[in-house]
A and B are shown apart, each in its own frame.
Chain A
Amino acid sequence: MNFEVLIASSIDGLTLGFVFGLMAMGLTLIFGVMKVINLGHGPFIVMGMFAVLVLSQNLGINPYLALPIVIVLGLVTGVVTYFVAVHRVINAPELTTLLATFSVNMMLIGALTIIFSTSPRGLSLELPAFRAGTITVLGTRVVAVLIALLVTGALYAFLYRTHIGKSIRAVANNRSAAELMGINSTWALALSFGIGTVLAMVSGALLATLFGFTVLSGGGLETKSFVIVVLGGLGNPTGALLGGIVIGLLESITTIFMPVSYVPVFEFVVFILILLFRPNGLLGAR
């Protein structure tokens, strides 16, 4: 086996892993705070992709400079979705919230299909690549990793250093106790749904700079997010980042040993086994 191939695919997987981690963090944050599995996660990722597409192609903004707009858009979308679809059923059994977020999924996919149709899209983005010997790292990948790290850093600073972030963590820990301390839990929940949506949309925007996409790309990415989230432990953002890196590496390195089409089988079997034996994730306590 070629050592350089291994290095090259490791770098490939690692860079992709950070973006996957960011994507899964959105899902896990929402679950951690309000115990809701957001089945609208896929369409939110796709919205991020198309937001960047429209901003860069129709309005001529550089895709990376469009990210702040995507963030604002994500926050608004998330908060609105929370109040429309989730708030009323926040204390209902899982099935209710699963179906409520699935209805959001249907509406968003339907609306996006009407506007953009399901034909494949892509961004035209040229960045210089980094070369060392036979190993090439694309510039878009490096920037994607840097942005993913920046967003993660900002998220942690927000959750641990600001007053609002601390109140979100308090609500996640114990909602009624937080309410007794004078925290407005409704807004804390709405805001965390918004942040989860922002993470989904930013990761979608970054993925759009790396690959081609369609309106229906969200489904596969959503199931991938589930796998990553479970790997890192449901509700654990740090775990999600690590899970993303593990999946990214797994996807790129295993292709050296086995046919590409077997990788998802392997992933889903690992997913089920972890759910059964380590439901708190690889890092979590038993």
Chain B
Amino acid sequence: MKSLTNPSLWIIWFVVLGVALMPVFGNLPALREELFVLLMLVTLASSVNIIMGYTGYVSFGHIVFFGIGGYTAFYLIQTLQFNFVLAALIGGGIASLIAFLIGMPVLRLRGAYFALATIGINEAFRTLVTNVDALGGAVGMLLQFSVYDAYGGAKSASQLAYYGIILVALLTITASFVIKKSKFGLSLMAIREDQDTAMVLGIDPARAKVMTYTISAFFPALAGALFFFKNGNIEPGPAFELHRSIEALVMVMLGGFGTVTGPIVGAFVYERLRGFLITDPIFSNAHLVISGLLLLIIVLFVTAGVVGWLRQRIPTLRRFLE
């Protein structure tokens, strides 16, 4: 845990906290809603990056853990009157447990087969939840308004959820940083570069990969729990939305694959860009076309992403910009 005292991490904390606390001190509810989504995307992108950036396993259906966490927490809050913090933690635990169980067989698959399997897992969960009446089936569930009374009304519950998501985002970033700086992280990157060589060096790839997958499932589940608690309703479509999962991959690529700051920068740039394109009268219809074009340009020409590109160009940045 020596990496916790690393100044690079403090810089990230400082910037993220500085931005995240703006609406709290400035009392700007609209900005708070925007930043809630942004911090959620930072969480999603960073956690995808933990499995994808470090081990090279492209988890296309990572949103499945967002949905699992959301549904578990929502069910506990609604029917068993759990506190939302406890419910979110249980949701995270269950998502990690599921990741652990499915990770063992699924992570044996390599490359495209793994990517396809994660899509299949997400779709299987989505269609399954659609059929479970206890979880509201295709219509989903609605939170009774009285649930918020325990937190001093809907307004203050939404404020609490915001503090929650700040914490979750910071936690994810810290985990991503600590893993990258640790010996464990090095073994993951060895697996990414060449799994067979890593094995010869005495790394147990199966164990390392399952551990990483389990860790990376925890954070999106927390984000899902907070998001749907704040929204007050949950449906299978938005909870297991494959498109959002792929968007998280796009953010990672945009910011920089395998870096700690990359997913944060990527989430910020992507979200700002989309916000601008949707609200702009000229581009509002073309936002998908423009985003797609941008993605293609990055994939074809700037493979390292924004952070990777900066690191390549300005050598002094390499010491601070992880």
Residue A268 interfacial (CB < 8 Å): yes
Residue B127 interfacial (CB < 8 Å): yes
Given A110-B289, A259-B131, A276-B106: A98 and B115 within 8 A (CB)?
A: yes
Q: Which of B14-22, B39-47, B155-163, B246-254 contacts A (4 or more CB under 8 A)?
A: B246-254
* Interface residues in B, total, Cβ within 8 A: 44
Q: B236-275: contact bitstring with A at CB < 8 Å (1 yes, 0 no)?
A: 0000001000100110010001000000000000000000
Cross-chain contact A99 with B250 (CB below 8 angstroms): yes
Contacts of A92 in B (CB 8 A): 303
| A265 and B116 alpha carbons, distance in the complex (Å) | 16
Residue A37 interfacial (CB < 8 Å): yes
A198 to chain B: closest CB distance in Å?
22
Contacts of A272 in B (CB 8 A): 106, 117, 120-121, 124
* CB proximity to A under 8 Å, residues B97-129: 105-106, 108-109, 111-113, 115-117, 119-121, 123-124, 127-128
Residue A261 interfacial (CB < 8 Å): yes
Cross-chain contact B289 with A269 (CB below 8 angstroms): no
B160 to chain A: closest CB distance in Å?
35
Cross-chain contact A35 with B112 (CB below 8 angstroms): yes
| A-B interface contact total, Cβ < 8 Å | 125
Residue A33 interfacial (CB < 8 Å): no
- Select B285's contact among A96, A113, A226, A265, beta carbons within 8 Å: A113
Cross-chain contact B292 with A106 (CB below 8 angstroms): yes
Contacts of B119 in A (CB 8 A): 223, 226
Identify which of A37, A109, A234 gathers the most chain B CB atoms within 10 Å of its CB.
A37
Cross-chain contact B58 with A94 (CB below 8 angstroms): yes
Contacts of A234 in B (CB 8 A): 112-113
Cross-chain contact A89 with B300 (CB below 8 angstroms): yes
Cross-chain contact A113 with B300 (CB below 8 angstroms): no
B305 to chain A: closest CB distance in Å?
11
- Select B120's contact among A37, A85, A226, beta carbons within 8 Å: A226
- Select B289's contact among A99, A111, A261, A264, beta carbons within 8 Å: A111
Given A35-B112, A275-B120, A279-B113: A103 and B52 within 8 A (CB)?
A: no
Contacts of B106 in A (CB 8 A): 272, 276
Residue A64 interfacial (CB < 8 Å): no
Cross-chain contact A276 with B289 (CB below 8 angstroms): no
Given A113-B288, A226-B116: A275 and B295 within 8 A (CB)?
A: no
| A28 and B128 alpha carbons, distance in the complex (Å) | 27
Cross-chain contact A103 with B292 (CB below 8 angstroms): yes
| A279 and B111 alpha carbons, distance in the complex (Å) | 12
B74 to chain A: closest CB distance in Å?
20
Contacts of A84 in B (CB 8 A): 296
| A87 and B52 alpha carbons, distance in the complex (Å) | 24
Cross-chain contact B112 with A227 (CB below 8 angstroms): no
Cross-chain contact B115 with A265 (CB below 8 angstroms): no
Cross-chain contact A114 with B131 (CB below 8 angstroms): no
Cross-chain contact A268 with B120 (CB below 8 angstroms): yes
B280 to chain A: closest CB distance in Å?
14
- Select B293's contact among A31, A89, A107, A223, beta carbons within 8 Å: A107
Contacts of B130 in A (CB 8 A): 261
Given A234-B112, A272-B117: A96 and B303 within 8 A (CB)?
A: yes
Residue of B nearest to A88 (CB): B300
Contacts of A100 in B (CB 8 A): 296, 299-300
Cross-chain contact A265 with B303 (CB below 8 angstroms): no
Cross-chain contact B289 with A107 (CB below 8 angstroms): yes
Residue B56 interfacial (CB < 8 Å): yes
Cross-chain contact A276 with B286 (CB below 8 angstroms): no
Contacts of A227 in B (CB 8 A): 120
Residue of B nearest to A102 (CB): B246
Contacts of B242 in A (CB 8 A): 219, 223
| A156 and B320 alpha carbons, distance in the complex (Å) | 57
Contacts of A104 in B (CB 8 A): 292, 296
Residue A20 interfacial (CB < 8 Å): no
Identify which of A88, A99, A109, A219 gathers the most chain B CB atoms within 10 Å of its CB.
A99
A-B contact pairs, 7 of them (CB 8 A): A100-B299, A100-B300, A103-B293, A110-B291, A114-B286, A262-B127, A275-B113
In order of increasing CB-CB distance, the 5 nearest A-B pairs are A110-B288, A106-B292, A268-B124, A107-B292, A110-B289
